[in-house]
Every structure is written in structure tokens, then in C-alpha cells.
Amino acid sequence: MKLGIQVKYNQTLGNNITLQELQHNYDAVFLAIGSNIPMQMNIEGEELKGVYGGNKLLENNEHPNYQDKKVAVIGGGNVAMDCARTIKRKGAKEVYIIYRRAEEQMPAERKEIEEAKEEGITFLFQNNIVKILPKENAKEVQKIECIKTELVQKEGDLRPSPVDIKGSNYFIEMDYVVMAIGSKPEQKIVSNLSIQTNSKGYIEVDKNYMTSQKGIFAGGDITGSKATVAWAARAGRNAAEAIDEYLK
């Protein structure tokens, strides 16, 4: 407040307030709404009770009781590390991180990986989940079916691609499964902004972080940049400098 900043709580873009209203009342608008809808693998059993999206699990802090439970976290980024370490600290008996590529290909920070190992997280590299199986006569998770992968360098790809090894399927008893394979923008909000997006639904910006609408800027995860707090913070700083120049 000392800087003259006004904060309005419980406001949803497209619900309580529209982008058109903001354009009318302000000379510039910066969109930093993030990209927090968990992506899905579209595999059998993903709809079962006990399957969670990593982003929403961390954001909403609505965790089930992990005490003496076995939990599988699918993914290799920082969100997967955060989920696994949080769940372990909340009393889970065993926590697995299942990643379809090799350890050196994990996008998570090396420090996060090493600290997760120190906390007792089990890593299953070059493994993939193909199915989530329910308990008999119930719609709750009982076990997962995994398959081993090998890395194959395909023409035109920058890094080797994981390919399933036929006949290497196996099962692990599991109580919960957390999908931390990435996130995507909330389309019901983005699609109503009348702003140009790319094929994946992220808002497109130029080198000055301006969108296809003059005076509307965006940065962070909603533009498809690296999904870390550090990168989002830097985007905010860069955009602020660009907005300052725009307003002169």
C-alpha cells in the first residue's frame, strides 16, 4: 500500500471482471495468470479416486491421508519433486517418482533431485505408467501397471525418445497416483480474452511481452516459458520495464 498498489481479492478474470473493463480503466494490463491445469496421460484408470494432478494438489493443499501409504508421482520436473517430497514429509510409507527417460534428462533441478533421494524417494528411471487398476468392486486405486523403456535417437529429434520395451510390463501395489507431467492454460479463461494464442493454448507475446492486443502484456507460465518461479519472476521484471517504456 505504501507504493500505491491496490490489491483486490476474490476476483476471477472473465467472471468478476473482464479484460475489456481493465483496458478501459488502465493504460496497460499485465496478465500473469499462470498455467496450472494439470495435464493428463489419457490412460485407463486415470479417472479413479486416488489419482491427483500435481499442480492442483500443491496449489490447493488438499492432501489425502498419506500415513503408511504408497504413492507414485509421474513426471520428472520440479513439480514432481515438490509433490514427492511434500508427500513423503506428510507420512507416506513409500514414494516413487516414475520417469520415462534417463536421470540426466530430467528437467528438474539437480539439487531438487539429490535432496529427494536423500529424503528416501525411490526413482524409477526409464519406466512409464500404462494403466491404473482399481480395487475389486471399487473405484479406488489398487495398483499401477508400468513398462520399461529404452531411449532411441529419432531423426530430427534433439534428444533420444523413450520407446516402450515390449513384454517388460510389471505391476506395483499403489494407494495414490499423482500426475506431474506438466500443466496447460485454463482455456475457458484464455479463449475469452480475444488474444492470439499458439497451438498449445499459450498466449503469444513479442520481445517486449506485448500480446496481439496493444497495451496488453503477459508473462510467466501463461506464455509457455520455463515453468519455474524464477523464470516467471524474471518475466515479470522484464515486462515491467517494457510497460514502463510503452507508457512514456
Q: What is the pLDDT of residues 193-208, one digit of tens each?
A: 989 999 889 999 999 9
Tell me, yes or no, if the pTM score tops 0.85.
no
Question: What's the pLDDT score for residue 219?
Answer: 94
Q: Does domain 39-183 have CATH number 3.50.50.60?
A: yes
**Model pLDDT for residues 64-110, shown as the tens digit of each residue:** 999 999 999 999 999 999 999 999 999 999 999 999 999 999 999 99
Calculate mean pLDDT across residues 233-246. Answer: 94
Domain ranges of the chain: 1-35+185-203, 39-183
Look at residue 101 in the predicted model and tell me its pLDDT: 96
Task: Please list, in sequence order, all residues whose beta carbon lies within 8 angstroms of the beta carbon of residue 76, skipping any fewer than 6 positions away.
Answer: 97, 99, 100, 101, 105, 106, 107, 108
Q: Where does the pLDDT of residue 155 fall: very low under 50, low under 70, confident under 90, or very high at 90 and above?
A: confident
Instruction: Give the C-alpha separation, 60 to 74, whole Å.
Output: 19
- Centroid of chain to Cα 15: 24
Per the prediction, the chain carries an average pLDDT of 93
Q: What is the pairing mode between strands 141-152 and 170-173?
A: antiparallel
- What beta strand segments (E) does the chain contain? 29-31, 37-38, 51-53, 70-74, 94-99, 122-125, 127-134, 141-152, 161-164, 170-173, 176-179, 183-184, 216-218
With pLDDT > 70 as the criterion, what percentage of the chain qualifies? Answer: 99
Q: What pLDDT shows up at residue 236?
A: 93
Determine the Cα–Cα distance for residues 170 and 191; give it in Å rounded to an integer.
Answer: 41
Contact 97, 105 (CB under 8 A): no
Confidence of residue 1 (pLDDT cuts 50, 70, 90): low
Which 8-state DSSP code applies to residue 23? H
Q: Tell me: pLDDT of 226 over 80.
A: no
Q: What are the cell numbers at 5?
A: 498498489
Please determine, for residue 62, whether its predicted confidence score (pLDDT) is greater than 90: no
Residue 230: pLDDT band by 50, 70, 90 thresholds? Answer: confident
Q: 3-state DSSP call for residue 116?
A: helix
**What tens digit of pLDDT does each residue of 171-195 get?**
999 999 999 998 888 888 898 898 9
